[in-house]
Structure 1
Amino acid sequence: MIGFLDTIKREWIYITNVRKALKRAAMYQPDDPVGLADVLEDKFDKHKANIAIRFEDKIYTYRELEERANQYAHWAINQGFKAGDTVALFMDNKPDYIAFWVGMSKVGIVTALINNQLQGAGLAHCVSISNARAIVMGPEQEELYASAKEQLGEDIVPWSLDCTLAGVSSIDPLLADLPVTRPERSHRAEIRGRDTCLYVYTSGTTGLPKAAKLTQVRVLGMLGAFVDSVGITERDRIYVTLPLYHATGGLCGVGQALTTGATLILARKFSASNFWDDAVKHKATSFAYIGELCRYLVKTDPHPLERQHTIRKGFGNGLRAEVWEKFVERFNIPHLVEFYGSTEGNVSFSNFDGKIGAVGRLPSYMRDKIKTRIVKFDIAEEKPIRGDDGFCIETDIDEAGEAIGEIADAPRQRFDGYHDPKQTEKKILRDVFVPGDMWFRTGDLMKRDEHDYIYFVDRIGDTFRWKGENVSTNEVGEALSSFDDLELPNVYGVAMPETDGRAGMAGVNLKPGRSFDGKALAAHVDQQLPVYARPIFIRIQPEPETTGTLKYRKVDLVKQGYDISQIDDPVYVRLPGSDTYEPLTAEIVDDINSGKVRF
């Protein structure tokens, strides 16, 4: 009887939440003349007196937030920007970050949300592929911008915000003379739901990040995606410590506040030591997470406020089962909505009932409404398996395969792709189940159990996650290749105990007559790569191992990891806070595995 009642409860929770999600997704259509700015202006009118953002010791009402956004919109008009132009935003977390892209939407301008840790070629690439006419940066980005300035050229005009930088025009002194009233709607009159609103960047297996096009409809969908499942109302206070250039915190987390009139508690960045102090100080009721954030909190020493807070719910992704269970029990946060989804894709799941380890469910009775499938996959060839009839084959229960989503014009099935059409085409799988059909390839291996719960298994190809970021092995390999002493780098991720994601490791060859200089290599990768992409381990190989098709062989390397008892080659490690790669010893390995050394 208990099992039957549990089943009824599970199905009721699922059906109720999916029905709400489908209804919300159908609110906005690609041909609608109503865009992001129209919807937000209605919300601002309704909640103008509510507190929109709590940031450190300051508070901003919705009226103040919109007035700031209006000033940025008038700034853009005065600079001669038109609807359809792009401006790159390169800043740390702060209220003006949100006000800026909201302001741009009011005059139809696309904002490219740039990873605030990028530098050099990576930064220049992301700005350039968006066709941005200008880049707006904060004080923390001055040196990063300088490293890419020559590659950006003179066509992209630099502006500073909340600071004065040498040789860069400042927006701040102009704001005092700009009106706080809404700009005329005529500036965005031609904008439709299918038009691009934001660029958010995603790392793929091809190396440098890709600019995912987020349309007006898609952004509106993301802003409200978790309002119903988490149960957000205007009385909530949502704690966001994730970077605002990420969709999870910057759109889904921020959107929970903007679309309901709730309060956003914004942090400059995540701090495990300050998390509970801030949560209690600002009386947070909900929060946005990634798995790494929860793991850090679980690994910290007990905090006197860790059970004195008012957080009772949250949402996020990447929370591993073993961390999930400890997190819920230790911190007494009963309602977590784990989800799966990509910035640009049309495949998404949400775990509405708290099944630990699962990212969601897909019951058979919803297959006609949610067009997501998991197909058999050849790991060696890195492509779906096709049957004798030439079509793909769905996986069996508990069998891992690639998750794919049928592409159609309905909001939940759209794939608007990337700025680069070639990158878009790589994500499309054709003639999957019938001739002529098209499906979006997630690049992720997933599986389902007998109760139709869906579980994330692993990422296909050369991208691995570390510190909550996607790390492209090609990008790291290019950086290592530009170091004079090394050649033929083979980059991969290796597992560490009780650590989300994989740590970067590279098998490299020394050029003839060269010796390994750990300090020089560390300085080089610091200059070339953001913190999360810098490899932790370096393995010196006599020659690279390749397959018959001359692809680097990684299976054995990944399996051996940094276990020097299985490796004859010299292995070096860069320990936390160190400025050099030093020889990896058995003692260091033990310290890493025991948790004494934490990365």
Structure 2
Amino acid sequence: MSHAPSDTITWGMMLRKLPMIARALPRVVKGMKVANVKDPTQACGLGWTFEQATLRNPEGMALLQGDVLLTYAQANQWANRIAHYLSEQGIGKGDVVAVFIENRPELLVTILALAKLGAVSALLNTSQTRDTLIHSVNLVAPVAIVLGEELQPAFAAIREHVSIAAQRTWFIADGDTYSHPGIAPEGYVNLISASADACADNPTSSREVFFDDPCFYIYTSGTTGLPKAGVFKHGRWMRSSASFGMIALNMHPDDVVYCTLPLYHATGLCVCWGSAINGASGFAIRRKFSASQFWNDVRRYRATTIGYVGELCRYLVDQPASADDSRHEVRKMIGNGLRPGAWAEFKTRFAVEHICELYAASDGNIGFSNILNFDNTIGFSLMAWELVAYDHDSGQPLRSADGFMRKVGKGEQGLLLARIDEKAPLDGYTDPQKTAKVVLHDVFSKGDRFFNTGDLLRNIGFGHAQFVDRLGDTYRWKGENVSTTEVENLLLQHPHISEAVAYGVEVRNTNGRAGMAAITPAESLATLDFAELLAFARQRMPAYAVPLFLRVKVKMETTGTFKYQKTRLKNEGFDPAQTGDDPIYAWLPGTQTYVQVTDDVLADIHQGKYRY
């Protein structure tokens, strides 16, 4: 990603921000105090902060979706009833409960109830099915599951492969269950009906949750193919909700955050909802993002703040211009992945004053945010970080002759490393071996430890950085991290494919990287039925992971250590002029098969004829 020289932050630019910095300073100091809980006996975390918000704004709107409008008092009491009931069923501190519900108030109330008990919500990705879903559930060995009716078919298909007792398989009907609990099918317990008469007071357990207690498991793409479960502790919830809600966004009870991002990811759940709770503000959600309804929803809920990922912004910019584009109350937005090319256009067309671009990995220990409202930056971090030189092929950081790593200069891109210390502990993964792999030792001096983010950033001055790209075996598409190894493993299940290498390629005027796979047929090209192959892939993987491009190779080249030459494949992309005798196929939007990419098809893709 290129950057204009104007992205570099100068002394003049900083001086112009001084009045804003002076105004923000008191809340920054207060926010840092709230964020950094150090006392191991101090109650904190999600349940506790929601109870504090309820005391502050009991009759204010807490959760909004369609016609469902719940005040803080109502949402808190609902979560309390569920928490008391679950406690009676033996769910307590440290127990892992899988949660499998699409974006709706019931999802948040369930997570809140579990947090009040000190139980851990394993936030299953609602796009997952079959083997990936079985892996995600069994990875964390949950003692129970809370399941939305909308995902019951996906769970029913894997139920015999996971060991969760029927009496702990709790069901939530697909509807406004606050008013109408609905009916559970045989073999499931209706959580809303069962908890309807439970106590509505705050459980004492929510004051017995401390900063080192885990709050959620959030799944991230594993470089070994299947998802890893990142541990998100209550102390980190405090850092996240205060850093973004108080310091970055200055949220208040009259604010409303509108979020269409999936709430099993940290940006939607921890950044957007956390910011709303921190300000005792409203949180309006939608089941799935809709570009055509987005601004209508924003006006309906009188939202002042929106959560985004870069792709979402691009879809909104692609909508036909309307006189209503700037007729709304949104003043600020928070999220990640907005590319410099679209930044100014979005800000101007939709009249948003502050784009609070952030950077945070759900499995990491560092966060950046654009508090000072510069353009084209993820802002700065209060944590210690460095950008180091790396090997372009392996993605590994380089060490000099003295054994230590080399920092890159201002304006250069480098691999982001974050210091691990008391101020920035690393919660890591449920698997200690996975955690050990991302920790680097003796980086700049003997005994120091750093978290390897696997991401490339550029230092643009005054502690501010710009996101460049992801390294390694994941790429980002449609706001989701895609594991290349997982895609490869699923393609290799096809009887006519003997080898598969997946990678991300850039498509003009899109965000992230689109999926592409180089495949070697088991027999010959003639044996491949491309409509059947597409149907096979779509059945087994989430829509965002299905490769948009295929490269058919007679033989796959490997390095001396038998690694596939992904860097070369990525560079050659889907241009037939670059790929020699290997034919390229594309899945064009709205079609049901892969078609061969000719010069004309390639020109149409480059010219944006197809909306990816």
- Could you tell me the TM-score, scaled by structure 1's length? 0.93
> Partner letter of residue 291 of structure 2?
A
Contact 1:241–1:288 (CA under 8 A) maintained in structure 2: yes
SS in 2 for 1:340: strand
**Please, which runs of 5 or more residues in structure 1 have no aligned partner?**
363-368
Displacement of 1:170: 2.3
Displacement of 1:549: 1.3
Distance 1:348 1:196 in 2: 19
> Partner letter of residue 548 of structure 1?
G
SS in 2 for 1:389: coil
Displacement of 1:107: 1.5
Q: Given the alignment, which residue of 366, 379, 389 partners 1:376?
A: 389
Displacement of 1:420: 0.5
Q: Equivalent residue for 2:519?
A: 508
1:9 lines up with 2:16 in the alignment: yes
Distance 2:11 2:310 in 1: 32
Matches within 5 A, 1:178-193: 178-183=198-203, 185=204, 187=205, 191-193=209-211
Contact 1:538–1:571 (CA under 8 A) maintained in structure 2: yes
Q: Equivalent residue for 2:365?
A: 346
Percent of aligned pairs with the same amino acid: 36
1:564 to 1:30, Cα distance in 2 relative to 1, 3 A: farther
Q: Equivalent residue for 1:540?
A: 552
Displacement of 1:328: 0.5
1:101 lines up with 2:114 in the alignment: no
Comparing 143-152 and 227-236, the one that deviates more: 143-152
> Partner letter of residue 293 of structure 1?
L
Matches within 5 A, 1:188-337: 191-227=209-245, 228-337=247-356
Q: Equivalent residue for 2:490?
A: 479
Q: Equivalent residue for 1:175?
A: 195
Comparing 584-593 and 123-132, the one that deviates more: 584-593
> Partner letter of residue 82 of structure 2?
Y
Q: Equivalent residue for 2:96?
A: 86
1:577 lines up with 2:590 in the alignment: yes
Distance 1:248 1:459 in 2: 17
Q: Given the alignment, which residue of 64, 79, 86 partners 2:74?
A: 64
SS in 1 for 2:390: strand
Comparing 155-164 and 111-120, the one that deviates more: 155-164
Q: Equivalent residue for 1:557?
A: 569
Distance 1:450 1:195 in 2: 36
Q: Equivalent residue for 2:378?
A: 359
Contact 1:240–1:266 (CA under 8 A) maintained in structure 2: yes
1:140 lines up with 2:183 in the alignment: no
Residues 185-229 of structure 1: CA distance to partner in whole angstroms, max 9, x if unpaired? 1x4665432011111111132211111111111112222221222
Displacement of 1:5: 5.3
Root-mean-square deviation (Å): 2.0
Residues 394-416 of structure 1: CA distance to partner in whole angstroms, max 9, x if unpaired? 11122221111111122xx1101
Distance 2:18 2:558 in 1: 49
1:531 lines up with 2:550 in the alignment: no
Contact 2:504–2:570 (CA under 8 A) maintained in structure 1: yes
Matches within 5 A, 1:116-135: 116-135=126-145
Distance 1:122 1:585 in 2: 35
Contact 1:372–1:406 (CA under 8 A) maintained in structure 2: yes
Q: Equivalent residue for 2:436?
A: 425
Distance 1:424 1:509 in 2: 34
Distance 2:43 2:301 in 1: 38
Contact 1:431–1:437 (CA under 8 A) maintained in structure 2: yes
SS in 2 for 1:566: coil
Displacement of 1:379: 1.5
Contact 2:93–2:117 (CA under 8 A) maintained in structure 1: yes
Contact 1:337–1:351 (CA under 8 A) maintained in structure 2: yes
Residues 534-566 of structure 1: CA distance to partner in whole angstroms, max 9, x if unpaired? 111111101112111111102222122111232
Displacement of 1:181: 2.5
Q: Equivalent residue for 2:607?
A: 594
1:19 to 1:469, Cα distance in 2 relative to 1, 3 A: same
Displacement of 1:37: 2.3
Distance 1:178 1:406 in 2: 46
Contact 1:443–1:459 (CA under 8 A) maintained in structure 2: yes
Contact 1:121–1:151 (CA under 8 A) maintained in structure 2: no
1:234 to 1:496, Cα distance in 2 relative to 1, 3 A: same
Residues 306-333 of structure 1: CA distance to partner in whole angstroms, max 9, x if unpaired? 1111111111111100111110011111
Comparing 424-433 and 247-256, the one that deviates more: 247-256
Displacement of 1:577: 3.1
Contact 1:350–1:359 (CA under 8 A) maintained in structure 2: yes
Distance 1:278 1:598 in 2: 23
Displacement of 1:30: 4.7
SS in 2 for 1:74: helix
Distance 2:408 2:596 in 1: 44
Displacement of 1:31: 5.2
Distance 2:595 2:58 in 1: 57
- Could you tell me the TM-score, scaled by structure 2's length? 0.91
Distance 1:23 1:188 in 2: 21
1:4 to 1:455, Cα distance in 2 relative to 1, 3 A: closer
1:388 lines up with 2:388 in the alignment: no
